[in-house]
Every structure is written in structure tokens, then in C-alpha cells.
Structure 1
Amino acid sequence: MRALRSALVGVAVLALLAGGATVALARSTPVLGAGGPVSVTGTEASAVFQVADRTVRQVRYADGGTLRYTFLLDNDSRFPVTVLGLDAEQADPRLFGLAGLTRRSIGAGESGEVTLSLTMGGCETLSSRAGSFVTTIAVRTRQAGLFEDVVEVTLPEEIHTGSPREAFCPNSTATSRPPG
């Protein structure tokens, strides 16, 4: 009887350890990467060029407009991930407002198309032809239906726009823009 009780206790301990290991694996932060193909809407012009090892997507600034940048998000994790959106704690770049990211579920080892929405504004606070970049985003995720994390994702291209000349920046004044 004592041997049976010891065996049952041993089996229970092993089950608890195995369950803990499963929770530990599920709790690991998701591994997300971004890739192409990409598409852009919400601007009159867009061009892609290489600068050393960087790929830059130049978009024409449209004050008050919304740029939509669609790309593939790769889930290189062992578990499915639900993209909940953008982390509210990240700072907005100078000429862009990080407005949203498509909410969707992506299976383990799979890719899914997501769209990053960026509002364009603030040209009146930046000198004419100065620029702004978006290179990474902080993505809120839920893994295994339970655990929420924020994952920094490097975009497949650095998104860049320039502050337009005064004629195309409707709220600029003689004193609103710094010299330059």
C-alpha cells in the first residue's frame, strides 16, 4: 500500500512538472517577423530604393491623409498568435500617427497579411523638406488564448515621408515652422 501511494505521488509530481513545462513553453514571447510582398495605399506617389543594406519606401506626404501599408507578418513561434493591434505606449514618429494594425490570428509557423494604418500630419511643426521614418512597430499579441505580450517588429521597408513646402502644408504659418 505504501509503495502504491509513493508511486501515485510520483506520478502526480511528474504530471505537475509536465504541466508547468507546458505553461512555460506557452508563456515564451512570440517570435514575429515582417516580410513582403508589400502594398501601399493612401498616397499619390510611392517609390522604393536601397541605401546600403536598408530598403526605404518613400511616400508622398498628404496632410490629414491615412497611409495603409500592407505586409506579411510571420509567426515563427510554436503556438498560434493573435495580433491585437499596436501598443499604445510607443511614440508616434514626427509626421506619422500610428493609427492601427489589423487584428488577426496567425498559426504557428504561418504568415498572415496585416495592414498598418498611419495618419499623416504635423508638417507645420517641421521645416520644409525635413523627413520622418517608421522602421519598427510595437505589436500587442495574445498567445495560446491567454498570454499577452508586446513584440517589436521591424518593418520590411523603412517608411519615409518628407515635410512638404508651404503651399502643400495647409496649417503652416510664417512662424510655425523652424528655419531650415
Structure 2
Amino acid sequence: MKTVVIFAHSDVKNASIANRLIIDRLNTVDGVEIRDLYQLYPDFKIDIEAEQHAMSDADVILFQYPFHWYSIPGLLKEWMDRVFLRGFAYGPGRKLEGKDFLISTTIGGPKDSYQEGGHNLFTVQDFLKPMVQTANFTGMKYNEPVVSHGMVFIPNGDNSREDIEQRAIDHADRLIQRLDDFAKKYESQNIPEATELA
């Protein structure tokens, strides 16, 4: 089974503990290709063919990103606009149909602030509805997302660096378990891998 991770964080080296640790752990998993959008496309000029090829070869498409202003980072939105084209993502000949789609996101705010009528008015699931519809429209199988809250470190704040590191490791472990579950599903159902279908 092959997983392509579409990773979007604008400054993972300097401004992220959690996403850096998650990506480092995913890098140790066989069959995982990580496409770091901000490293590949700092000028936002996306190689559409390369990105479509990476997704065509994958069985699982995983979006890893920090939750920014209740949505996805800007480059990930640009990437979707450029890559999810008619004839590839939707319409005749769509190439993503049947692939498993998984969202993995880190959120700075606490879980209780993402409740109906709470501080942020809506649940995380409400904010993720555009991703649910994207999966539906492209024929991908939307899977329950992996979400972690309280993932921001501010010196002298509520969370220690060690707290964030442990939460990130826990998040990565849950994510890797999900990938293992996908692999078992593909194996038990004898589902041909994407590379066998190409």
C-alpha cells in the first residue's frame, strides 16, 4: 500500500513543534511519500503533472496541516485549485475514485472551544465539511480525521514544550495506526494497489 502525504505548513522548521514531529515520524513508515508543499513550491508555482502523478500512484491520500483560521493553509488551497482538475479529480476519467482520503490536523485551541455555540461557534467537523464534500465530489472515501487540540507552544503559556511534543507523538502514533489499518484492509480484501491498476 502506498500513501502520499500532502503536507502544508508555512514554516515547519521554525514555527512548529507538533507538525515537525508528526512528519518526522511519518518519514519512518514504509510506503509513505511526503510532499512538503511549502518546500516544493515556495513561489506557489505548482507542478500539476507531478502532483497528479503522485496521487494517481497512491492508495491513501493524507492531508497533514495545522488548522489555520478554521481552514487549510493558503498553499494547500492553491494546490487543490491547481491540481484537482476536471478529467483528473472529477468528471470523466476521474483518477481519485476509490482512494482513501484522510485528514490529519493540529489545532492550537482546546477541544471545548470547538463546540456548537462555544468560543468558535462550531465543531471541527463543521469546519471540515468542505473536505468531506471534496472527497464526495472526487469519489474518494472520506475517513474519520485525526485531530489534536492544544497543539500550540507559547513560552510561559499553558502548554509546555514537553506537553506539545508528547501530544505530537501521540498524534503521529494514532496516524500510523490508521495507516496500518488501511494496509490490513487492502490486504484482507485483496484490493489491488494503485500501482497495479496504472
> Under a length normalisation based on structure 2, what TM-score does the superposition of the two structures give?
0.25
Q: Which has the higher strand share?
A: 1
TM-score, length basis structure 1 = 0.26
Q: Whose Rg is larger?
A: 1
Q: Which has the higher helix share?
A: 2
